[in-house]
C-alpha cells in the first residue's frame, strides 16, 4: 500500500487577486467540531451569518446567505434563478469575468446582448443606459471589480436606470466585497454576488449573495418544491421552473428560512469560516477596512513606480485591491513569477487573454493586505527583476513604500 505523507503546505505570502492568505482565526474556526445541519446551535449560526451578510452588503434585504460552492456558483445560482430562457440580458463586458457572465447567461438560454469596452477601461454609465434603451433587457448583469484588468465600474447610475426601466440588475462583486464599498441598497442593485477568497480572506468554498424583493418576486413565479418532499403535483405544462436543483434560489431560501425545508447539507466548516471571517470584517469596521486597502495600495503603487515600473490601465477607474503592472521590455514575466514563488515564497498573478505575458497582477486583499507583505513583495520583486537583467533604479521601491507608511503614522 502506498503511504501518503502528512499534509504540510508551505506558508506563502499570497499577493494575487485571490485566493489570498487567511487570518489564523478563520483557519482555527474550521477546526471546531461539526454540528448537525438541523441542530439548533447550527441553525442559529446560519441566522447570525445572514445578519452579518446584510451588514456586509449594506442592505436591508431579507435574503442574504451563501451559496455552497465557489464564487462562480453564486453567479450561476443568481443568473439561472433570475433569468428565464428566452429573456433578453444585457452584459457590458470590460474584462475576462464579463465574458463569464456572458457564458453563463447563454447557458441559461438567454438572448444575450453584449457591449464590449477595451480592456483597461470601464463604461460611462450613459453608454450602458443607452444600450438598455435600445435592447430593453429583462436583466442587466455586470462585474463590479474586474480582477483581470484591475478596473472598477461605477454602478449607482446604472442601478437607478434599471429601477426606472424595471430591469433587474445583477452584479458580480466577487472581487470587491469587503475591500471597497458595495452599496446594495443605495445603488439599487437587485442581486449581488460576493466572493470569500478575496477581500474577505476566507478560503474559497462559499459565495455570499443577497437579493431584494424585486428579485424574490421573480423567483416566486418559478417556485417549486422538490419531488420527494412536496405535497401536491406540479402542473405538467409548467416549463418556467429553474433548470438547476442545486442553484434554485426559491428552494434555497426555504432552507435558509425558519421553515428549514430540506435541501443540501449545509457546509458546516465553511460556514464556520464564513461567520468568523465576517465577524473579523465587521469588528474591523467596513470603513476602516476600505481605508486600510487604500493605504496599502498607495504604498504598493509608490514602491512599484519608484522601482521604474509602469502601471497598466486607465488610472481613473483603477481598482484599489488589484494593481496591474506592465512587464518591462525584455523581461520574461513567468520566470520572475517562478523565482518569486520558488525562492521567496511570494505569489503574484499572471493574466488572461489579450494581457497574457504583458502584465502582472498584484493583489492587496483582506488579510494579505498588510504592511509587511507589501514591503516584502517590493524588496523581492526588485531582486527578482535584477536577477533577470532589469536595469531600473535600485533600492527605491521599499523606501518609497516606507515613506507612505511613515507619513500615515505622522
Q: Which of residues 369-398 bind its own copies (CB under 8 A)?
A: none
- Work out how close the CB of 7 gets to its own copies at its nearest, in angstroms, rounded to a whole number: 5
HSE-up of 188 (CA within 13 Å, CB side)?
Answer: 14
- Work out how close the CB of 149 gets to its own copies at its nearest, in angstroms, rounded to a whole number: 12
Which three cell numbers, joined as nine digits, stand for 331?
A: 523581461
- Work out how close the CB of 345 gets to its own copies at its nearest, in angstroms, rounded to a whole number: 10
Contacts (CB under 8 A) with its own copies, residues 84-103: 96-100, 102-103
d(CA 139, CA 102) in angstroms, rounded, equals 12
Contact flag: residue 31 with its own copies (CB under 8 A): yes
- Angstrom CA distances, 3 to 8, 9, 10, 250, stand at 15, 17, 20, 46
> What contacts 253, CB < 8 A, 6 or more positions away?
63, 65, 216, 219
Binding mask 132-171 for its own copies (x = CB under 8 A): ----------------------------------------
127, 204, 326, 402: which one binds its own copies (CB under 8 A): 204
Q: Name residue 65's beta-bridge partners.
A: 209
Q: Give the range of 2-10, 151-159, 208-216, 291-299 binding its own copies by CB under 8 A.
A: 2-10
9, 237, 258, 330: which one binds its own copies (CB under 8 A): 9
CA dihedral (276, 205, 199, 304) in degrees, to 10, reads: 130
- Work out how close the CB of 380 gets to its own copies at its nearest, in angstroms, rounded to a whole number: 16
Contact flag: residue 76 with its own copies (CB under 8 A): yes
Contacts (CB under 8 A) with its own copies, residues 171-200: 197
Which three cell numbers, joined as nine digits, stand for 57?
A: 452588503
d(CA 350, CA 343) in angstroms, rounded, equals 18
1, 221, 233, 259: which one binds its own copies (CB under 8 A): 1
Q: What is the DSSP letter of 396?
A: H
47, 134, 240, 245: which one binds its own copies (CB under 8 A): 245
- Work out how close the CB of 72 gets to its own copies at its nearest, in angstroms, rounded to a whole number: 5
DSSP H/E element including 169: strand 168-173
d(CA 359, CA 327) in angstroms, rounded, equals 5
Contact flag: residue 228 with its own copies (CB under 8 A): yes
Which three cell numbers, joined as nine digits, stand for 410?
A: 505622522
Contacts (CB under 8 A) with its own copies, residues 255-294: 262-270, 272-273, 275-276, 279, 282-283, 285
The answer to whether 17 and 365 are in contact (CB under 8 A) is: yes
92, 137, 205, 328: which one binds its own copies (CB under 8 A): 205
Amino acid at each position: 500500500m502506498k503511504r501518503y505523507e502528512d499534509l504540510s503546505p508551505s506558508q506563502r505570502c499570497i499577493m494575487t487577486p485571490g485566493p489570498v492568505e487567511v487570518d489564523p482565526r478563520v483557519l482555527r474556526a474550521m477546526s471546531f467540531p461539526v454540528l448537525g445541519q438541523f441542530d439548533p446551535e447550527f441553525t442559529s449560526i446560519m441566522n447570525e451569518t445572514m445578519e452579518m451578510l446584510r451588514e456586509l452588503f449594506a442592505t436591508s434585504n431579507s435574503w442574504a446567505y451563501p451559496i455552497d460552492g465557489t464564487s462562480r456558483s453564486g453567479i450561476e445560482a443568481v443568473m439561472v434563478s433570475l433569468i428565464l430562457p428566452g429573456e433578453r440580458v444585457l452584459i457590458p463586458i470590460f474584462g475576462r469575468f464579463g465574458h463569464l457572465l456572458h457564458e453563463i447567461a447563454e447557458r441559461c438560454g438567454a438572448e444575450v446582448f453584449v457591449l464590449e469596452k477595451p480592456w483597461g477601461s470601464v463604461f460611462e454609465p450613459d453608454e450602458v443606459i443607452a444600450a438598455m434603451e435600445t435592447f430593453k433587457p429583462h436583466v442587466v448583469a455586470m462585474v463590479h471589480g474586474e480582477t483581470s484588468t484591475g478596473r472598477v465600474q461605477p454602478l449607482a447610475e446604472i442601478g437607478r436606470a434599471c429601477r426606472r426601466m424595471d430591469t433587474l440588475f445583477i452584479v458580480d462583486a466577487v472581487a470587491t466585497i469587503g475591500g471597497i464599498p458595495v452599496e446594495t441598497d443605495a445603488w439599487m442593485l437587485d442581486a449581488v454576488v460576493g466572493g470569500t477568497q478575496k477581500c474577505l480572506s476566507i478560503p474559497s468554498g462559499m459565495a455570499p449573495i443577497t437579493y431584494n424583493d424585486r428579485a424574490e418576486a421573480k423567483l416566486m413565479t418559478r417556485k417549486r418544491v422538490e419531488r420527494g418532499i412536496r405535497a401536491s403535483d406540479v402542473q405538467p405544462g409548467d416549463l418556467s421552473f429553474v433548470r438547476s436543483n442545486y442553484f434554485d434560489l426559491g428552494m434555497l431560501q426555504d432552507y435558509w428560512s425558519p421553515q428549514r425545508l430540506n435541501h443540501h447539507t449545509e457546509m458546516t466548516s465553511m460556514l464556520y469560516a464564513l461567520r468568523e471571517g465576517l465577524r473579523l470584517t465587521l469588528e474591523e469596521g467596513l470603513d476602516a477596512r476600505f481605508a486600510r486597502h487604500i493605504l496599502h495600495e498607495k504604498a504598493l503603487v509608490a514602491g512599484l513606480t519608484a522601482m521604474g515600473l509602469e502601471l497598466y490601465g486607465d488610472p481613473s477607474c483603477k481598482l484599489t485591491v488589484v494593481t496591474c503592472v506592465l512587464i518591462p521590455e525584455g523581461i520574461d514575466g513567468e520566470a520572475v513569477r517562478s523565482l518569486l514563488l520558488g525562492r521567496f515564497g511570494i505569489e503574484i498573478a499572471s493574466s488572461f487573454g489579450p494581457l497574457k505575458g504583458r502584465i502582472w497582477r498584484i493583489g492587496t486583499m483582506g488579510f494579505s493586505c498588510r504592511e509587511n507583505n507589501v514591503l516584502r513583495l517590493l524588496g523581492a520583486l526588485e531582486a527578482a527583476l535584477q536577477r533577470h537583467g532589469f536595469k531600473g533604479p535600485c533600492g527605491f521601491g521599499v523606501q518609497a513604500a516606507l515613506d507612505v507608511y511613515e507619513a500615515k503614522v505622522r
